Amino acid sequence: MRLKILLSATLVISYFGCVSAQHTHPPMPGHLENEISAERILTQIRDFASPGFQGREFGEAGNHKAADWISFTFSNHGLSPLPGEDSFLISFPVHRLSLSENSYLGFDNNSLDIFEEFTAAHYSGDAQFSGETVPVTWGAHHDLTRQDINDEIVSVYLSETSDFKTDHYGIHPAAVWADSLNARGVIFIPHSYSRYLEHTYRFEPQINLPQDAQKHIGNTAQPFVKEKRLDIPVLVVSNEVLPQDNLNQPLNVSANISLQTEQTGLANNVVGYLGEFEPDSPYIVVSAYFDGHGLHPNSGIPFFGANRNGTGVSVLLELARSLKTVEDALEYPVIFAAWNGHERFNAGVKHFFSSVWKDHENLMSYLNLSELSAQQDTSKVEIFGPSEESPFHPHITELTEKLELGYSYQPVDPLKNSEFLLPASLSTEIIGLNGGAYTYAGRIHDSPDKINLRQVYYISQFSLELLWNLSTLYEPL
């Protein structure tokens, strides 16, 4: 049986084969053990998380600048563009959802202007509906469940403090809950429509729609959300067009909502390789996502993203630089990939494996580097996976013991972790190595001075030795 194992939430490894004593490799050269430099890693993290990249938000100028910076570093480290490519930059389209011209929303038979007075959330579905709304103050879970909203249109007034309480993908939990309770639609009435547009039209319209219908779960830990869109329309209406003394009262509405996708530009993955490709050659992929959260919607200060995911990108570059010194010894080529669109449902990696790189059968192992620093001083690695009986487990324990790296082991459901949103052909059984707990709210304070460099260094050493072992096996997995 061919076994695929994917490690994530910091360090992710996917094995397409089984580990056994028969899969031997030469010892790692002595100089390679000293190639990893903690000082160089920290310098790269500081560069990558600097204000000049403006938080590296998908589709924005800082994101393009970050891709160019990674491409330049790949070139300096001696990597080559993939066979058939003339650049490390591999572009893919960026799409946005917009209301079609025939979309309509009216209150008491008075139609509203598209965008000026109402818009649709990026996860909205299409539908026609008319009738009286069921007002739900604030949109909390208990507000929705304490009354029957089955087949009803829900109107939710968002206070100033609750306007932006969305999950990891910008989906408001009230919309998720309403969809799961079989409502016909949701109408949000934010405290400030202009402020809502300023926020969401930086974060939502450039959402890149994936091609598959795989499901994920948001940080709300509530019902599953379809990765593309909800089944119901989710509209946002200016409170200025409604009676100010009637915001929490039933509204007489009618709507015909139709959304369309349009391409707004291009984004870039950054991909290169070491070694030599031959027909049907087994190969290894090492990756890290590099896009971030951009600027804070209120302060305009960048979300620096030193750990999310400056640590992963910096270690990716350090591994590439180190393996270049032993490139002639590699039995199998190693692809180094900086994925874009992680904050847009992993759009970059999905496009790459579905439209650019079709050779999935020869992918021998997959290593992903993501958020490698814990917020506490530790050299412990958390291992996520199906069981300690996994054939990969002996390999992990061997390296952790050699490096005196502590570890714990616990199961994980990969369908509930956004890190695992890879094409179905690339993951079955899942195992993950985690640098440590990292909260989504922590992104605001995610600056280089918060990095646990000792832990990142140890995980770098672990990754380098693992890559050497995999890329020099006498027999492929």
pLDDT digit string (tens) for 51-82?
A: 999 999 888 899 999 999 999 999 999 999 99
**Looking at the structure, do residues 214 and 120 belong to the same domain, yes or no?**
yes
Average pLDDT over residues 265-272: 94
**Looking at the structure, do residues 353 and 464 belong to the same domain, yes or no?**
yes
Residue reference for tokens 């890559």 = 467
In the chain, the percentage of residues whose pLDDT exceeds 90 is 26
pLDDT tens for each residue of 319-376: 999 999 999 999 999 999 999 988 777 788 888 988 899 888 888 877 778 888 765 5
Q: Please determine, for residue 384, whether its predicted confidence score (pLDDT) is greater than 70.
A: no
- In terms of pLDDT, which residue wins out, 121 or 182? 182
Looking at residue 36, its pLDDT comes to 92
The total domain count for the chain is 2
The answer to whether 432 and 15 have CB atoms below 8 angstroms apart is no
Element (H, E) at 158: strand 153-158
pLDDT tens for each residue of 310-321: 999 999 999 999
- Quote the tokens at residue 147: 């009354």
pLDDT band, very low/low/confident/very high, at 161 (cuts 50, 70, 90): low
**Looking at the structure, do residues 28 and 106 belong to the same domain, yes or no?**
no
Element (H, E) at 403: none
Question: Which residue, 189, 224, 257, sits at the end of a domain?
Answer: 257
**Looking at the structure, do residues 172 and 309 belong to the same domain, yes or no?**
no
Domain harbouring 123, CATH code:
3.50.30.30
Q: Please determine, for residue 3, whether its predicted confidence score (pLDDT) is greater than 60.
A: no
Average pLDDT over residues 435-453: 59
Q: Which of 128-132, 214-218, 381-385, 439-443 has the highest mean pLDDT?
A: 128-132
Residue 477 counted as domain residue: no
pLDDT tens for each residue of 220-248: 222 233 345 788 999 988 888 876 566 67
Residue 131 counted as domain residue: yes
Looking at residue 446, its pLDDT comes to 77
Residue 373 counted as domain residue: yes
Beta bridge partners of 295: 302
**Looking at the structure, do residues 304 and 193 belong to the same domain, yes or no?**
no
Q: Is 409 exposed, middle or buried (0-12, 13-18, 19+ CB in 10 A)?
A: middle
Q: Please determine, for residue 116, whether its predicted confidence score (pLDDT) is greater than 80.
A: yes
**Looking at the structure, do residues 293 and 437 belong to the same domain, yes or no?**
yes
Domain harbouring 315, CATH code:
3.40.630.10
Question: Which residue, 237, 257, 277, sits at the end of a domain?
Answer: 257
Domain with 271 in it: 5-94+265-471
Looking at residue 477, its pLDDT comes to 57
**Looking at the structure, do residues 106 and 87 belong to the same domain, yes or no?**
no
Contacts of 64 (CB under 8 A, 6+ apart): 267, 268
**Looking at the structure, do residues 400 and 443 belong to the same domain, yes or no?**
yes
pLDDT band, very low/low/confident/very high, at 87 (cuts 50, 70, 90): very high
Average pLDDT over residues 265-293: 91
pTM: 0.75
Cis check for the bond before 309: say yes or no (omega within 30 of 0). yes
Residue 476 counted as domain residue: no
Question: Which residue, 223, 241, 257, sits at the end of a domain?
Answer: 257
- In terms of pLDDT, which residue wins out, 192 or 302? 302
Residue 304 counted as domain residue: yes
